[in-house]
Chains A and B, each alone.
Chain A
Amino acid sequence: MSAVDVGQLAPAQLAAYLDLEHEASAPYSAYVFASPDVAKAWSRHQLTSGAAEFGPPHGRAYVEGESVVAMAAWLNGAELKRLRMKATLALLKFPAFGEDRTLGDRIRAASSTLLSPGPEDMYLSRVAVDPNQRGQGRGRAILDDLASSARSRGCQRLLLEVAEDRAPAVRLYERFGFASLGVVRAPAQPNKPPLAYRQMVLVL
């Protein structure tokens, strides 16, 4: 399994990468967006606006042969802050934002569950392993890649949020040495599933 920058993917690989990104973001997307189609359109819009946390050079696909078997995206707190601002500017131009008055409210509500890492922190923004490829230590290999990349860039801590009901993922992080900072719940929204993230930290 080798890591390939998202900017280097062939079109079919990019589609597979975005499917995995969609899977990684599913708890947030289900809370925020009107439908999975809007969520997918938002991912594409962020990518083309250069505002995506999972875009180049932060996003990487894990490839075996020609197949994308996993994806991950990480960036430091300063890069994250800059991209979140870009994403807000991109959001103002996103058609669904103008059409759905409640979208902005839900994005604000969901933001209460997200960490604000410092410039010295590395933040794991997205990670997903293809469901057919699980149970083979791929998650662990990605975390090794993340930790060595963070160390080589002089970061002190790794931070992430994981949906509280994704028990296998929480266990993976715990075994890797992450400690829980607590669970943060977004305020309930009409006709939307609840959103609860466990925030976790690993001191390098």
Chain B
Amino acid sequence: VKISAAAVKAFMKRQLATEMTENGVTELRDDLNLVDSGLLDSIGLLQLVMSVQEEFKVEIELGEVDPELFTTVAGFASIVTDRSV
């Protein structure tokens, strides 16, 4: 099953709803930096990765992934969609 980037973004929006309200972020634009905008701290990132793996049953194999990809909306979504089969 191919996972769409839109599905990943919708999931992220649900997961980060509280943080978005707290930080005055209304929309997860592709180039939004999740860390600089205050949506993710280190444990928040860990939690998001783990819940995405759970939700989409995707193994995120990170050997060759640029870790900076995790810090933007589009980058995070691409990691999940690229791993799906």
Contact = CB atoms under 8 A, between A and B. Distances in A.
Contact of B67 (A89, A105, A108, A111): A89
Contact of A92 (B43, B47, B70): B70
Interface string B30-67: 00000100000111011101100000000111110001
A92 B62 contact: yes
Nearest to A105: B50
Interface string A77-88: 000010011011
For chain B, which range describes its interface: under 10, 10 to 19, 20 to 34, or 35 or more residues?
10 to 19
B80 to A, nearest CB: 13
A104 B46 contact: yes
A192 interface: no
Contacts of A85: 35, 41-42, 45
Contact of A88 (B46, B59, B63): B46
Contacts of A84: 41-42
B45 A88 contact: yes
Given A104-B46, A108-B47, A93 B62 contact: yes
Contacts of B59: 98
Given A93-B67, A104-B50, A88 B60 contact: no
A113 to B, nearest CB: 12
A107 B43 CA distance: 8
Given A85-B35, A104-B50, A93 B43 contact: no
Contacts, number: 41
B49 A92 contact: yes
A24 interface: no
Interface in A107-140: 107-108, 111
A111 B44 CA distance: 11
Contacts of A107: 43, 46
A92 B35 contact: no
Interface in B6-25: none
Contacts of A90: 67
A91 B50 CA distance: 12
Interface string A36-48: 0000000000000
Interface of A: 81, 84-85, 87-93, 98, 104-105, 107-108, 111
15 contacts: A81-B42, A85-B45, A87-B42, A88-B43, A89-B45, A90-B67, A92-B49, A92-B62, A92-B67, A98-B61, A104-B49, A107-B43, A108-B43, A108-B50, A111-B43
